Amino acid sequence: MIYVPLNNAQPGMKLAKSIPSSIGYFSLLKNGEVLTSSLIEKLREHGIDGVYVELAGSEDIEPSCIMEPEVRQQITNEFRKLYTDYLTRPAISYKAVEATKKIAENIVDQVLGRDEYLVDIMEIKGYDSYTYSHSLNVGILSILMANEMGITRNRLEDIGLCALMHDIGKVDIPIQIINKNGPVTDSEFAIIKTHPEKGVERLRKCFNVSHEVLQGVQSHHEKVDGTGYPYGYKGTRIPMFGRILAVSDVYDALTSQRSYRGAWLPNQAIEYIVAKSDAQFDRDLVGNFMHIVCAYPAGTVVQLSDGSPAVVVKNFSENVLRPQVRLLESTELGPKGAEINLFEDREYFHLTVKAVLGDANFELTPGVAKIAQ
């Protein structure tokens, strides 16, 4: 199967993977369904960023799966219920924190026992932009980053709890500001900037939340150059959990659709994070991050620097920018269907990934004209 951003989706394409609804209890569209203009419009209304569709010769390509779909769905449902509870009660109870810790433990178990190594953000996304699913994604990414750093199991669970709770202070921000369609005004932004401390205020009363978790919640919007909030701390003055969350929070936010912009592609969001190393993010942590995310998830349609169109088959955690790809048409590199390993094969070291289907600069060639018009 291949991944097609919704803007490139065409009537007649056949879905290779069901699209769950935002609450996960049913499918918006089922595997095997053929897209029509009205279905594409419906997907757009639901904020779907893209779809997996069938393409002859790519049947064996599957997105990598960090967590069994049923387990992910169960965790999502439990966490959604808890989050609703946070919203409706004036304070967070001991019991609610314990239940959230259980979810963090469950994610750590899943992540440590995984077969797949790299996170395909398209795959983990729950197809919505609710705070709880964002927090869940930030949890998965933060635990993986922390694991990459070699921290202990107890602290992995703590970073998970911290990530799940990091935006809890948004509960105390007026909903019309949180859900505003479009950029916020300066005074609205000043109110939004209070959410880390409001979160700490709520959690401070729970004696089963560690100091390190509180620090992480408080500092997840700090930037290493001192331009973040609430305190403008610099470098390692920002607690470790805050520095980890800063990377995973921004990565998940950029790859999600917003009312005023489309979702960024994984490689675009990774480029942004790398470019902001030492300004916004801790450079060493960005190095860890680069070992846990796919820049070009399996199924991504790419164009190589020689112009050849190809689809990504496999990724390597040692270098997430150099996947193995399969040619979508015969070119000077080889016949249609031939595989090119950009990471291991010296013969292809001169080649790079020039563009991704969905980029403005993606040039059409006959091989992809059928899938991207």
Binding site for Fe ion (CB under 5 A): 167
Task: Return the number of the residue (253 or 274) whose C-beta is nearest Fe ion.
Answer: 253
- Which helix (H) or strand (E) segment holds residue 156: the answer is helix 153-165
Tokens representing 333 are: 């590199």
Count CB-CB contacts under 10 A for residue 46.
15
Query: b or e along 183-216 (b: 16 or more beta carbons within 10 Å of the residue's beta carbon)?
Result: eeeeebeebbebbbbbbbbbbeebeebeebbbbb
Sign of the C-alpha dihedral, residues 263, 167, 275, 2?
negative
| Nearest partner of 302 among 275, 274, 317, 321, judged by Cα | 321
Nearer to Fe ion by C-beta: 65 or 253?
253
By beta-carbon proximity to Fe ion, the closer residue of 114 and 198 is: 198
Residue with Cβ nearer Fe ion (131 or 210): 131
Which C-beta is closer to Fe ion: that of 123 or that of 167? 167
CA distance 31 to 16: 5
Q: Which residues pair with 277 in a beta bridge?
A: 281
State in angstroms the smallest separation of the CB of 230 from Fe ion. Answer: 11
Residue 128 or 167 having the CB closest to Fe ion: 167
Cα 169 to Cα 189: distance, rounded to the nearest angstrom: 14
- In the bound complex, what is the minimum distance in angstroms from residue 221's beta carbon to Fe ion? 6
Least Cβ distance, residue 217 to Fe ion (angstroms): 9
Of 167 and 222, nearer to Fe ion (C-beta) is 167
Nearer to Fe ion, 194 or 317 (CB): 194
Nearest approach in angstroms of CB 311 to Fe ion is 36
Least separation in angstroms between residue 170's CB and Fe ion is 7
Residue nearest to Fe ion (CB): 167
State the nearest-atom distance from the C-beta of 172 to Fe ion, in Å: 13
CA–CA separation, 15 and 19 (whole Å):
9
* CB nearer Fe ion, residue 99 or residue 253: 253
CB of 180 to Fe ion, least distance (A): 15
Separation between Cα atoms, residue 205 and residue 248, nearest integer Å: 26
DSSP string, 41-79: HHHHHTT--EEEE--TT-TT-----SS-HHHHHHHHHHH
Radius of gyration of the chain (CA): 21
CB of 134 to Fe ion, least distance (A): 9
Say how many residues make up the chain.
373
Measure the CA–CA gap between 361 and 277, rounded to whole angstroms. Answer: 25
Strands (DSSP E) contained in the chain are 2-5, 19-20, 27-29, 50-53, 301-304, 309-314, 324-327, 339-341, 353-356
CB of 166 to Fe ion, least distance (A): 6
The token pair at 17 is 């993977």
